[in-house]
Amino acid sequence: MTSAFRRLIAASMLAGFGAWSAAAQTAPTGAAPAAVAPAYTPTNAAGQIEVVLKDHVFTPSQIRVPAGKRTQLLIKNQDPTADEFDSSALKVEKVVGGNSEGVVRLRELDPGTYPFMGEFNPTTAQGVVIAE
């Protein structure tokens, strides 16, 4: 490869990369940003939010729900021991046996953050419901 050919390739590459760099691209002016709907936690076919308790940890640990709408959580305890879904903020207590499932019914919530925990493993089994 000749040195002139290498310079030509290098110049072409620099010109091409410059056109695609973030600095070369600009956002349209005067356009209002699109409204973004809150990303609520997905539900199953029954309309319940599935929450798995495994190794004494809730997944997901952050649950987003629409404010003002009743919601059901399907707690799937995959641990061999029982635990209690407990939240004074949500005014809910529900014992779910080991390798079992239980449904927690949430009332219509005002916008806000509502912590919950596993009563029998409060240092690891923690989470929050966010009503938006």
Over the stretch 2-11, which tens digit does the pLDDT of each residue have?
Answer: 555 555 555 5
Residue 97 has pLDDT above 60, yes or no: yes
pLDDT digits (tens, 9 = 90+) for 71-84: 999 999 999 999 99
Count of structural domains within the chain: 1
* CATH code of residue 108: 2.60.40.420
Buried b or exposed e, range 84-107, using 16+ CB within 10 angstroms: bbbbeebebebebeeeeebebebe
23 belongs to a structural domain: no
Domain around 64:
49-131
For 56-67, the DSSP string reads TEEESSEEEE-T
17 belongs to a structural domain: no
75: amino acid identity, one letter: I
